[in-house]
Structure 1
Amino acid sequence: MIRKTDVIIIGAGQAGLATSRCLTDLGIDHVVFERGEIAQRWRTERRKNLHLLTPNWMTRLPSWSYVGADPDGFMHKDDVVQLLSDYSDDFAAPVQCNTEVRSVSLSENGYRVITDTAFWMAKSVVIATGACDKPLVPEFARYIHPLIRQVTPDRLDDISEISHSGILVVGASATGIQLADELLRGGCDVTLAAGSHVRTPRRYRGRDIMYWLDQSGVLSELRDSQASLKSVLHHPSFQLVGSALNRDLDLGSISRRGAKIVGRVTSMSGRRVFVSNTLSASIDAADARQKRLLSRIDHYIESHGIDVPVEPVIAPIKIRSDESLINLAERGIKTIIWATGYKREYLWLNVPVKTAKGEIDQAGGVTSAPGLFTMGLPFMRRRNSTFIDGVGADAHEITKFIAAHLGLRSTRAA
């Protein structure tokens, strides 16, 4: 038996549910397929002590916003799961949990979607499987000695499962810097290999940095239409940690606590790890990015006449390393953690919209295949397209494209 609907959404995380809410508000018939439970990745692929980088007041979705007693706190990942479950219940989202999509292909009237339980036809499909699909581990990782343990953040539920021997963390964006911080607090000997990163203070001029990024429009900044897909998919995240202590977390702070900072990893062989001599350049570039960002915030404050304290100049980080080789045996390093970002796999997508790297070729969530859209990808339409707070604006706009594709009047899709 063939089942039919107007729109199929694949994925019931924040991006899929936000889109579902917008479609529901327009009365558009749709169904959401989720391979596990609602917010599956938040349930099973996040460390047990993970908190959002954004304050609770920024936890906003279409027709919903945080109203709890701790607006300046940082939501634990289990609370995110509950939030998304409650959000789904609030508008009776048509989610089919534990339903795996096996194939999406073109048909004469739209798309043929085969799941492990049924055969569906839909006029439009929204791929909302998220940005954090498969950990991105470089090919040369296979050349490391087999006795060196290699793990990725999605498989690292608790740092206590790692022995107190030496650990190499590869990657210095949000995840890598947080892991290095947690490991240091757990008494581990940490080496951090840093490439491109975005240094950001937790608080600036009396407010959480996210307040200024939100108010000044930095987070809602539209994607440059000339930017390559590769550049936006691998844009580094802010070096921040969600903590009631409101502390800064950057290469300088963890270096002062004993972490050894080296350059970007370029190759491996046996128990040898080769690193580039670009650490100084990466740190200087991060300091320059921070200076530009804070100058933009200062300009916003001054142009709007906001009375807030003047912040002391943030000192640049002074870490230099000409180290080109890490001998894991000499350092006592027995574990490598790959915090090098994510890639996405769409093995079930049989529509010619994929790049040579397997990513979906899209511009603002719109693909070349009529009626096929994406949601929740890095910098898809805006800088915050992957944030819980950012998927709402994208969902409203993608829904307009869907409505137009379905032939609904523009007044209805407004």
Structure 2
Amino acid sequence: MAHAGAGSTRRTDVVVIGGGQAGLAMSRCLTDAGVDHVVLERGQTANSWRTERWDSLRLLSPNWLTRLPGWGYAGDDPDGFMTAAEVVAHLDAYRASFGAPVEDGTTVERVAPCSDGYVVDTDRGSWRARAVVMATGACSDPHKPAFAADLPGHLQQLAPTEYRNPAQVADGRVLVVGGSASGLQIADELARAGREVTLSTGEHVRLPRTYRGMDIHWWMSTLGILDERYDEVEDLGRARRLPSLQLVGSPERRTLDLNSLGGRGVEVVGRLAGLHAGRAQFSGSLANVCMLADLKQRRLLDRIDEFAQEHGLDAELSDPVRPAATAVDGTRLDADLSGYGAVVWATGFRPRYPWLDPERLAPAVLDGSGRLRHDGGVVDAPGLYVLGLPFLRRRSSSFLDGVGRDAIDLAGHLVGHLERSSAAIG
């Protein structure tokens, strides 16, 4: 990199904020394009994977789908699912493979516009760049409802980023709030450890881990679902808000859904709607929510069967055995929290950009709810980009494979921006 010493404001063409899979993918693309840049990482490479994952966590997608620009899975278990530690090693090796210019232990404090791009202030000095890529992902802050502050004081409260294993969870029954991947996996692990668990769920996306002998991600890739682009869907806002898939990565490739949790003794109730006099209140729409999830799953499996028949695959695949309809009671509408010891808030995350200058930049690029205004990662400010958000440019944007292809697209746009700005100056 061509820039001044650390004691003064250093210069580069592009500052990438975040050294996880998104930031490294962008760095590889910029390196290939010969663009001078730096990656600023508050901790170490893959910091969230190192410090904010529970002990048993594995990727939801199979190893063969961990493709990044210029890098892919090279192990002997392509159909397996990496542990968090294996993801860290995978990304560390990726960083080393092209000498990514990462500055570890650097916290970004402010990004503000200037005459030729942006000033990026950190706790280790400042940078001046013609473009900035925000690659910190979608999981900055675990989301909790406002009424979480009104929970009885004896309850331990944990976010998925804080949960590690059942041993750390306070004694007593556990209320897990959230019926997507994190909530189901944590509820399942607690139940397997002999804990009494109540799972509160609202809208969710139910899928079998495998169907007709193939992983569900293989089917979604083969059918082109993972490649669906952000400018091709009817309701992009809803597509970006969809819950993560009810899946778990495990050596035995088991299906994890509300039925399997119920079989393990987990009590399934509706969405947590509020609190009153020390009692949790649950929505009465559980049966309808589950019926809708079953319907959507059935439509996808129908589509798979039709594809298999049209392409002459029936003889090669196992029989089309369908998962049973979700069996829920749905009559439990409240619970006395005095018998509970802990609540796990698996209620999603909110991206956060505290470094955006509150006067000159944030008002121009954030909407009323604090979300970035962008077109497929191109933010509403020249030279500002975001990478690593759900359905940023394609349905697979949340996976390593998808974020890599998003990075390729955005790097092309970014290089064009640099060329145009150079021509304007010239």
Normalising by structure 1, we get a TM-score of 0.95
1:270 shift after superposition: 4.8
Which residue in 2 is equivalent to 1:209? Answer: 216
The secondary structure found in structure 2 opposite 1:187 is coil
**1:313 and 2:318 matched:** no
**1:361 and 2:370 matched:** no
Give distance in 2, aligned partners of 1:94 and 1:70: 30
Give distance in 1, aligned partners of 2:85 and 2:263: 32
Give distance in 2, aligned partners of 1:229 and 1:137: 24
The secondary structure found in structure 2 opposite 1:192 is strand
1:247 shift after superposition: 1.2
Give distance in 2, aligned partners of 1:217 and 1:120: 41
Conserved? CA contact 1:57–1:66, under 8 Å: yes
Which residue in 2 is equivalent to 1:412? Answer: none
Correspondences of 1:14-413 after superposition (within 5 Å): 14-224=21-231, 230-306=237-313, 307-329=316-338, 332-350=339-357, 351=361, 352-407=364-419
Give distance in 2, aligned partners of 1:206 and 1:252: 20
The secondary structure found in structure 2 opposite 1:65 is coil
AA at the equivalent of 1:93: A
Of all paired residues, the percent bearing the same amino acid is 45
Conserved? CA contact 2:230–2:395, under 8 Å: yes
- The runs of 5 or more residues in structure 2 that have no matched partner are 1-7, 422-426
Conserved? CA contact 2:12–2:129, under 8 Å: yes
Give distance in 2, aligned partners of 1:228 and 1:10: 29
Deviates more, 1:54-63 or 1:223-232: 223-232
Conserved? CA contact 2:156–2:169, under 8 Å: no
Give distance in 2, aligned partners of 1:114 and 1:135: 25
Superposition RMSD in Å: 1.6
Give distance in 1, aligned partners of 2:239 and 2:133: 20
1:229 shift after superposition: 6.7
AA at the equivalent of 2:323: I
Give distance in 2, aligned partners of 1:91 and 1:227: 39
Conserved? CA contact 2:140–2:352, under 8 Å: yes
1:301 shift after superposition: 2.1
Give distance in 1, aligned partners of 2:393 and 2:202: 25
Normalising by structure 2, we get a TM-score of 0.92
**1:2 and 2:14 matched:** no
The count of aligned residue pairs is 407
Deviates more, 1:223-232 or 1:54-63: 223-232
1:407 shift after superposition: 1.2
1:113 shift after superposition: 0.7
AA at the equivalent of 2:317: V
Q: Deviations over 1:85-114 (max 9, x none)?
A: 110010000100001101001111111111
AA at the equivalent of 2:336: N
1:233 shift after superposition: 4.1
Conserved? CA contact 1:267–1:275, under 8 Å: yes
Conserved? CA contact 1:16–1:32, under 8 Å: yes
